[in-house]
Structure 1
Amino acid sequence: MKDLIEFIAQSLTSNPEAVRVTESDEGDQIVIRLEVAPEDKGGGGRVIRNHGLDGALRIKCHSDNPQRFQAGNSVTVGDAERAIVSCQSLPGEYAILRLDGIVDVQTAELLAGQWLYAATDSGPELPPGEYYHYQLVGLQVTTDEGENLGQIREVLITGSNDVYVVESSEGAEILLPAVHHVVKQIDIVAGQVLVHLINGLR
């Protein structure tokens, strides 16, 4: 399984040499961890092009955290971590971003197409029981009857509530609505989600 995951990750990433897959025996389960280069995490956004002549960047945001790009936070772009000087929101998912040290059009043009990887601890602390989507992806999902359903692969935003896309080790998917009578407990530290399957979810 470890070799298969490494092969798939290397075929999907832009920097396959940075892919690292480790496997560890933790009690009664085998835990596989995947690490990729910052540009392959897509945790924040992507530079579309330069904006103006003073080094500003037009970006497309890929973050569920609206505070991710606020002034004072930092992002990794290219091979450097830079402080955010300012960020102006635009209609849709776009914004104008100014980063420390990027002050001319020539430097900005070199960053076109680069991913912006925002630190996962950026943004305000949420109230108890609320989580950013990046915190949920990868968590192991188990039912209150002890059945392992797999991991959260994606969080879908709907009109009423979020929906967790859970994928088993065999590739089967199940959609779980993020409502209190289904999701019973979320433990970010332990990497676990406890759920109760009601009729119609399979």
Structure 2
Amino acid sequence: MKTPMDEHDKLITVGKIVNSQGIKGEVRVWPLTDFSERFKDNSTVLLDINGELRPLTVEHSWKHKNFLVVKFREIIDMNSAKSVKEGLLKVSRDSLRELPRDTFYIFEILGMEVVTSEGFPLGRVKDVIQTGSNDVYVIAGQEKEYLIPAIREIVKNIDRENRLITVEPIEGLLDL
């Protein structure tokens, strides 16, 4: 029996505040999204600290190394910025961009059951490693973990509705 999703389950994490930046209330955000324009001026996100949500409005932001530096209107000084360190920045699922066909958000892949094309169950996706060239699915099996490259030659089907991934591993892949 399905239980209704609570508000937190309907939210997607798009960034993590990793530190304060300067004395004006700016924060360093580690982006957990491919769409960093989500942090454009006047956009809003929800700050999740210890399960409590509060809306924040982006005053301005810019890219700095691998981070984004973001100034939120509601965070007015360095002390306020330090108090939100480790906070997660979230958005609602309905604000997500529509992806091209056969493209998935990582949160959609996590937890999916993985079977071979012959029906042999491998386990569930516990992590997705982004390598730059292709993602690698970390599958938690009953006896071991499998690393499955997310390439068309191996991943034959991803069924969102049934939360099932069908793979056709090349020889030796499951022995690693």
TM range (shorter): 0.7 to 0.9
SS for the counterpart of 2:36 is coil
Change (3 A) 1:123 1:147: same
SS for the counterpart of 1:130 is coil
**1:66 counterpart = 2:39:** no
Change (3 A) 1:174 1:49: closer
Please state how far the C-alpha of 1:200 moved relative to its aligned partner.
1.8
**1:87 counterpart = 2:65:** no
Please state how far the C-alpha of 1:115 moved relative to its aligned partner.
2.6
Task: Name 1:130's counterpart in structure 2.
Answer: 103
Query: Which structure is higher in RCO with an 8 Å CA cutoff and minimum separation 6?
Result: 2
Change (3 A) 1:46 1:67: closer
Runs of at least 5 residues in structure 1 that lack an aligned partner in the other structure: 1-23, 27-32
Contact 1:82 1:100 in 2 (8 A): no
**1:56 counterpart = 2:30:** no
Task: Name 1:15's counterpart in structure 2.
Answer: none
Change (3 A) 1:48 1:175: closer
TM-score by length of 2: 0.76
CA distance in 2, matches of 1:42, 1:172: 29
Please state how far the C-alpha of 1:73 moved relative to its aligned partner.
4.2
TM-score by length of 1: 0.68
Change (3 A) 1:42 1:90: farther
Higher strand share: 2
CA distance in 1, matches of 2:161, 2:87: 27
Within 5 A, what are the aligned runs for 1:90-109?
90-92=64-66, 94-109=67-82
Change (3 A) 1:150 1:173: same
C-alpha RMSD over aligned residues? 3.1
Percent identity over the alignment is: 26
